[in-house]
Chains A and B, each alone.
Chain A
Amino acid sequence: MDKLEIKNLNRNFKFGKQKVLKNINVSFLSNKIYGLFGENGAGKSTLMSIIADYNFPTSGEVLLDGENVHDNDNALSKIYYMNQNNMYPKNEKIKKIFKLTKAIYKDYDSQLQEKLVNEFKLNIKLRFDKLSTGYKSIVKIIIALCVPCKFVILDEPTLGLDARNRDIFYRELIESYSANPRTFIISTHIIEEIDKLVSDVVMIDNGKIVLNDTADNIRSKAYSVNGPIDLVSDYTKDLSVIGKEELGQYVTIDVMGSLPNKEVPSGVKITKIELQKLIVNLMNKDGANDN
């Protein structure tokens, strides 16, 4: 089975003074949909560009099926990075870009491309840099869904997309994933759109991985404990707290981990937290809480 492993990855800037990625260790397995979350500047784009060999790490390695990805045609042909940079020549027509991509990738899915062009109502005679942000994303999305790569990395795929096109994108993503299983790593700020879609969650905070687990596991381990302040605080005192909200005499404390063996005091209610709220809580926390 294909596996994309990131081992002990570090990336420093300014001669080591600025550490953007700190000892990242994470694996991406085949045929799963990963959500890569984190604040702006947390290091998501840096990580993705290093995986795709766009940039080099300061130390550490990226392995695909055990082979180092760096300068490796075989490994790189299995990875596609849909990114926010201008990768195409100026004034290039969309039609030409598609044609070139098709020539480069032997098993490019032209049928799907045609279907998507129609669904998104894309005019391929236009020039790429004359498009709106949304339509530039659409062109990139189409290519990303049609390339025959086992690992497709999507950096903010819905940037600039209106509601209708976002809906089309997710539907087509699911359809393509079902018909042709491969790994998608989606990085987005709009967590609620994909929180049911992802099977696994990886979260980066301040250059470190703070969460790396399946969505099901996380949902089963995250709880919201609500009730009078003293009772709740006592109940949660040994637990990993990720959020706290006070309202008069009452408090809601969000925790992660298994619930303690003690009996739930009367007046205290425990519910599950939604994935999105959980991630927002983690992002708001000061300092990483090692779990």
Chain B
Amino acid sequence: MIIKETALYKNIMKRYFLYTLIYMAILFSINILLNRMRLLENLSQIKTTYLSFIVVMICFNYYLFKLSINFGISRQSLYKVKLSLLCSIAFIVNIITFSTNLLVYFFDKKDLNSFYIGLYYGFFQNNIFDFTFMFVFGIIFTFFIFIIFNTLGTLLSLLGVVGKIICLVSIYAMFTLPLMLIGIYHDFISTDFSVINTIFSIVTGIHTSNNKCGNPINMLVTLIIIIIIMLFINYKLTKRYQIRR
């Protein structure tokens, strides 16, 4: 039922995304006029707020489900709508941040606080290739962030209060545990990190041993693999949605 899906998609895009954009644009103009902040600082600040807002918004899955099931849209179609939304928003957001970065670069000639430039730029030794690849990488990375947060949001929506707490605690543990283990490894087993270093290089393409430019393709592949896993998990979770009474 393409009509239904398109209608829902358009409605959500218009309602949340478009209005957020307009809101942000207004905020931006007001800031410049009232505070006379420097263009670039302003842009960076707006960009961060905007991104965080988008990420939060992406987590609101239950209401989207309620809306869709009320209109007779199956969970499978809901998943397709969700993905379309995430893709479109990732693309547009990326264009905005990309342009922001460009503007900052051209106006200020400062070093951008873009980690990509620091780590991977120059790999292809060709400005056009590097630039294009940076843009593509940006989109995929943005989508990566979105799909992770949306999947997390979907999972949390399905759980009760207890489940939510357990989930969040586990995620926190998942982040701190590896660091702890590495610390233990370092202190008690060996200071030889060569194995870890090798794994790190393969996954991210960054060479810690020398100052050569990192290989962004590795990182891209890693991101894509994780995205595919997340897409699968998200699908399975979306299929499990039910109305709570």
Which residues of the partner chain B approach A195 to less than 8 Å between Cβ atoms? none
Judge if A14 is at the interface, Cβ distance under 8 Å: no
Judge if A63 is at the interface, Cβ distance under 8 Å: no
The B-contacting residues of A in range 46-91, CB under 8 angstroms, are: 49, 52-56, 71-74, 76-81, 85-89
Interface size class of A (residues with CB under 8 A): 20 to 34
9-residue interface stretch from B73-81, B124-132, B178-186, B223-231: B73-81
Judge if B70 is at the interface, Cβ distance under 8 Å: yes
Is A100 a contact partner of B76 (Cβ separation < 8 A)? no
Is A72 a contact partner of B67 (Cβ separation < 8 A)? no
Which residues of the partner chain A approach B72 to less than 8 Å between Cβ atoms? 52, 73, 76-80, 149
Is A73 a contact partner of B1 (Cβ separation < 8 A)? yes
Is B67 a contact partner of A73 (Cβ separation < 8 A)? no
Shortest Cβ gap from B21 to chain A (Å): 19
> Given A71-B239, A100-B7, is A76 in contact with B74 using a C-beta cutoff of 8 Å?
yes
Q: Which residue on A lies nearest to B2, using beta carbons? A: A73
Which residues of the partner chain A approach B89 to less than 8 Å between Cβ atoms? none
Q: Which residue on A lies nearest to B11, using beta carbons? A: A100
The B-contacting residues of A in range 67-120, CB under 8 angstroms, are: 71-74, 76-81, 85-89, 100-101, 103-106
Which residues of the partner chain B approach A77 to less than 8 Å between Cβ atoms? 1, 4, 72
Interface size class of B (residues with CB under 8 A): 20 to 34
Which residues of the partner chain B approach A85 to less than 8 Å between Cβ atoms? 66, 243, 245
Is B76 a contact partner of A87 (Cβ separation < 8 A)? no
Which residues of the partner chain A approach B3 to less than 8 Å between Cβ atoms? 104, 106
Shortest Cβ gap from B136 to chain A (Å): 33
The A-contacting residues of B in range 28-86, CB under 8 angstroms, are: 63, 66-67, 69-77
Which residues of the partner chain B approach A55 to less than 8 Å between Cβ atoms? 242-243
Which residues of the partner chain A approach B7 to less than 8 Å between Cβ atoms? 100, 103-104
Judge if A45 is at the interface, Cβ distance under 8 Å: yes
Please tell me which one of the listed residues B10, B11, B76 contacts residue A73 in the complex, with CB atoms under 8 A apart: B76
Shortest Cβ gap from A28 to chain B (Å): 16
> Given A53-B74, A55-B243, is A89 in contact with B67 using a C-beta cutoff of 8 Å?
yes
The A-contacting residues of B in range 63-115, CB under 8 angstroms, are: 63, 66-67, 69-77
